[in-house]
Structure 1
Amino acid sequence: MPKMKSHSGTKKRFRKTGTGKLMRAKAFKSHILSKKSTKRKRGFRQETEIAAADRKVIKSRLA
């Protein structure tokens, strides 16, 4: 049986930390930035952990 391939789109969007957490970038950063405050835009720079409900699916797509 051949090896399972990782999902290409998932590889580009998520990363696994050294401790095994799955991280994602925040949404709403790409356009219409003039009405968003500097503080809010600065918050979009940090990655955040994936919700518990989505972990199983994303982990299987990265495997």
Structure 2
Amino acid sequence: MPKQKTKSSAKKRFKLTGSGKIKRKHAFKSHILTKKSKKRKLALTHDALVDKADESNVKLMLRMK
């Protein structure tokens, strides 16, 4: 049986923490930043964790069981 490949898009978007949780970046931080407040842009800078409901799908994309 050949090895399963990870999804390249998921590989670039998610990182695993030491405790096994999955980190992600916030959306809406790439362009059209002039109309967004400084507070909002600063909040979008920080990493977040993938929600519990989506964790199994992300792990499947990363081929983690």
Q: Shorter-normalised TM-score: what interval?
A: over 0.9
Percent sequence identity is 49
Partner of 1:27: 27
Work out the number of aligned pairs and report it: 63
1:8-63 Cα deviation digits (max 9, x unpaired): 11000111011111011001101111111111101111110011111101101112
SS in 1 for 2:12: helix
Structure 1: runs of 5 or more not aligned: none
Partner of 1:9: 9
SS in 2 for 1:44: helix
The one-letter code sitting in structure 1 at the alignment partner of 2:49 is E
* TM-score, with structure 1 as normaliser: 0.92
CA distance in 2, matches of 1:30, 1:46: 14
Partner of 2:46: 46
The one-letter code sitting in structure 1 at the alignment partner of 2:33 is L
Structure 2: runs of 5 or more not aligned: none
CA distance in 2, matches of 1:8, 1:28: 21
* TM-score, with structure 2 as normaliser: 0.90
Give the 4+ runs in structure 1 shifted more than 2 A: none
Task: Report the RMSD for the aligned CA atoms in angstroms.
Answer: 0.8
